[in-house]
Amino acid sequence: MTTLYDNLKDVFNYAKVPYELRDRQFLNKTGFAMSPSHAITTIQDVFRVSAFVKSIDKAIKDLQKIYPDETLHILYPACGPLAPLLVPLLAYYKANKIYNETQLKVTFIDIQEGAILSLVEILKVSGLDAFVKEIICADAVEYQSKEKIHLVVLEAMQHGFTKEGHLSISKHFVDLLDKDGIFLPQEVRVDAVLAIGEEEYNTQWKDADLVASHNMNPEIRDQRVVLGSILRVNLETLRGMEIMELNENTRLVKCATHTIPHFEENHDKRIMLFATNITIYEDEVLSEYDSGITHPLPNMDICINFIPKADKRVTDLYVASGDTITFYYKLVGLPGFLITKENLK
């Protein structure tokens, strides 16, 4: 992936992308649109790219059995300037004559003009134009199609399932996906975990050669207090998801309610983490710490069993063992979780 990145990082020059489009980043109504200059670096997130590539390959094989005589239409919203989850696979299929353009067609969508200009150039120089159905520069949630969609590949999130519009975009595409189609990732699960920050982020990695799930320290992991799952995003939950409209720009999804348990030691030292585990397809998973998108995110807006003497903020939530809290997911320009205390005294 590093070699691939080195070979592709000059794409903005090849594609003559104006400088102002390379660094442009903004919030739109569903989330943060990362700048193309930053988005090209995501190809270096090795486990993420390889798990998606293997998953897409397996999903295509399965879809060919479900739809034997059809050209498979793949949608890749929020694809970024390199579309790294699919372009290397298409190049491999072409070079090894595994699938051709009568078997697979792809619609790429990105909201950043600089990303689209780069992608057009990449597909052209790789000789992959024939696989392209459409390349669209638009907000993915505006996309409509009368044609069947067999496979959706989406990764538009940051750690703690925050900032980017993965949930809004997923919800939109689930309604467009054919009933036997496949949506990747199959499930994103976010858990709320109480951990001792110093041990979680520092001690546990002292002797590790790599920060990844297989190197997590079992003793430190056992010391975590797991409140439980707060959000599962899969076909079933997306189809049944109720969205509360607070106003034109703010929508909420009610997630889960949990009670803060009583715990003995370090009672005032625990912070809350949002820990993400992703099933991309069947046994292809991304566990905590395997990717930038599955690094547990500390939530510093909630203080558990302590009230800080300094740096108090009006947005802080003070809770104690025995309190019940409810998690909501905000569908706004900067998506993420919101927590409320149920038993306000």
Instruction: List contacts with ligand SAM (CB under 6 A).
Output: 28, 30-31, 33-34, 39, 42, 77-80, 84-85, 109-112, 115, 139-141, 155-156, 164-165, 169
DSSP string, 72-130: EEEEEET-TTT-TTTHHHHHHHHHTTSS-TTTEEEEEEES-HHHHHHHHHHHHHTT-GG
Minimum CB distance to ligand SAM, residue 211 (Å): 20
Minimum CB distance to ligand SAM, residue 336 (Å): 15
Nearest residue (CB) to ligand SAM, 77 versus 296: 77
Strand partners, 110: 137
Nearest residue (CB) to ligand SAM, 169 versus 233: 169
Tell me how far apart the alpha carbons of residues 223 and 71 are, in angstroms, rounded to a whole number.
51
Minimum CB distance to ligand SAM, residue 258 (Å): 30
Minimum CB distance to ligand SAM, residue 174 (Å): 15
Tell me how far apart the alpha carbons of residues 196 and 102 are, in angstroms, rounded to a whole number.
54
Nearest residue (CB) to ligand SAM, 79 versus 106: 79
Nearest residue (CB) to ligand SAM, 270 versus 295: 295
Nearest residue (CB) to ligand SAM, 75 versus 78: 78
Nearest residue (CB) to ligand SAM, 2 versus 315: 2
Q: Strand 72-77 to strand 104-110: parallel, antiparallel, or no bridges (unpaired)?
A: parallel
Tell me how far apart the alpha carbons of residues 52 and 64 are, in angstroms, rounded to a whole number.
18
Minimum CB distance to ligand SAM, residue 194 (Å): 29
Nearest residue to 38 (alpha-carbon basis) of 151, 138, 114, 125: 114
Tell me how far apart the alpha carbons of residues 173 and 175 are, in angstroms, rounded to a whole number.
5
Tell me how far apart the alpha carbons of residues 153 and 287 are, in angstroms, rounded to a whole number.
18
Give Cα 261 to chain centroid, integer Å.
29
Minimum CB distance to ligand SAM, residue 109 (Å): 5
Tell me how far apart the alpha carbons of residues 319 and 345 are, in angstroms, rounded to a whole number.
11
Minimum CB distance to ligand SAM, residue 310 (Å): 36
Residue 260's contacts (CB-CB under 8 Å, 6 or more residues apart) are: 194, 227, 304, 305, 319, 320, 321, 322, 323, 324, 325
Residue 238 has φ and ψ, to the nearest 5°, of -65, -40
Minimum CB distance to ligand SAM, residue 112 (Å): 4
Q: Which residue is nearest to ligand SAM (CB)?
A: 80
Strand partners, 274: 192, 297
Nearest residue (CB) to ligand SAM, 204 versus 291: 291
Tokens found for residue 251: 């929508």
Nearest residue (CB) to ligand SAM, 28 versus 343: 28
Minimum CB distance to ligand SAM, residue 17 (Å): 12
Tell me how far apart the alpha carbons of residues 155 and 151 are, in angstroms, rounded to a whole number.
13
